[in-house]
Structure 1
């Protein structure tokens, strides 16, 4: 019995060490800048990078810089097509089971995370039709030049498996899931995809961004005004 307990302790210790090493590597990768010469312009296409604590999304205008998302993401895909009247879409990429079953941290199950981390080709894009969100602690505003926004949009569009691919309505009445390209793993997480998209646009961000903080940490938090306007 003691031998079994010692063996279980060794496995648990190794697992904890692996998690710590993974966390440290992720934070280090997120701190190593790419596109170091980039700076936000004073004027351009305004997008948002937001997080629910598990997944990060890119909140993009439906019509900007010659990009039109309405053909790819029509209202007919929603449980309530009226939400297609909103002028932005929030798009995130991830592993199918992980995404469908973990809308918040309260829904996260270790086995679901482990299965996704080992690797899965069952990837999806989650799309919400939204109005541009207000400033919040879990969101960052990023201003892109028109050509940067077009590069970002091209990266995101290339992640869709196609209009004829699997899709289903989402968590609520204004969102849907679509079959995606790419393989999910502990290396290529939903947040790493967000970083990849921003990096492809030319934005200054970390070399590897597996966690929400490694994405949002590159952008200034919102500034709030006091009630008296100061």
Structure 2
């Protein structure tokens, strides 16, 4: 009984420490995401010549950038051909996000995320992976928010994303459905360099007003106005 009580006590202490660390992480994320980068940035007015409308997407945990498949400055079909997904359609947009390989591939739902995977990411991180989904005329919503960029800003955003493109020979993995796919990608996922940090870093490189440290999706989305 004494040993059982000791085990229970240490388990309670360990659980308390984990909860404390999680709370501190959430608090630091809230503070870091509230410190603006590019604080003077203003979204160009509708109809501004050369401007490009993109979208910022979230599922509540993970964020992605949804871009026109083809513009005068960039044709994503060469990087992410529709033939790489099962359903070949008349796609108009491509959703691009970066994350941790094992989490992306082996956890189709958050219920599948194991504590050991979380501890590994906290301790040593993991390999980067791109998630690419193809869309047809996506409609704006609170989880898919439009954002307008000037032509120069969009060019910088494209250049930032291109740094995360798959290296040759590219390695491809099946996606969650018929319209998405994964690719091995450069970069190391860590607790300080998360999928949501990747999204905000790309936007910041373009010149968009966004939080400084955004480990959680809410830290990204709070800077993007929700459609009415």
- Alignment TM-score, normalising by the size of structure 2: 0.91
Pair 1:51–1:103, CA change in 2 (3 A): farther
1:28 paired with 2:35, answer: no
Q: Aligned residue for 1:61?
A: 68
Going from structure 1 to structure 2, the CA distance change for 1:189 and 1:8 (only over 3 Å counts) comes to same
Range that drifts further, 22-31 or 169-178: 169-178
Q: Is the 8 A contact 2:153 2:206 kept in 1?
A: yes
Alignment of 1:162-181 (within 5 A): 162-181=167-186
Q: 1:163 to 1:61 in 2, by over 3 A?
A: farther
Equivalent residue for 1:73, pick from 80, 86, 96:
80
Q: Which of these residues, 88, 91, 94, is aligned with residue 86 of structure 1?
A: 91
- Residues of 2 paired with 1:207 and 1:190: CA distance? 14
Over residues 82-107 of structure 1, what are the superposed CA-to-partner deviations in whole Å (9 max), with x where a residue is unaligned?
23x20110011000110123344344
Picking from 206, 215, 222, the partner of 1:217 is 222
Q: CA RMSD in A?
A: 1.6
Q: Which 10-residue stretch deviates more, 145-154 or 161-170? A: 161-170
Question: Which of 52, 75, 81 is the equivalent residue of 1:45?
Answer: 52
Q: Which moved more, 1:70-79 or 1:106-115?
A: 106-115
2:197 and 2:82 map into 1 onto residues whose CA distance is 28
Q: Is the 8 A contact 1:77 1:168 kept in 2?
A: no
- Count of residues paired in the alignment: 221
In structure 2, how many angstroms separate the alpha carbons of the residues matched to 1:86 and 1:162?
A: 24
Q: For 1:91-135, what per-residue CA distance to the aligned partner results, in whole angstroms no more than 9, with x for missing partners?
A: 110001101233443443333333333333421100011123212
- Once the two structures are superposed, what CA deviation does each residue of 1:39-72 show, in whole Å capped at 9, x if it has no partner? 1001321011011122111000111241111111
Q: 1:99 aligns with which of 104, 107, 117?
A: 104
Structure 2, unpaired ranges of 5+: none
Gaps of 5+ in 1: 224-230
The TM-score, its normalising length taken from structure 1, stands at 0.90
Contact 1:119–1:183, Cα closer than 8 Å, also in 2: no
**Structure 1 Cα separation of the partners of residues 154 and 130 of structure 2:** 19
Q: Distance in 2 between matches of 1:150 and 1:119?
A: 34
Q: Secondary structure at the match of 2:65?
A: strand
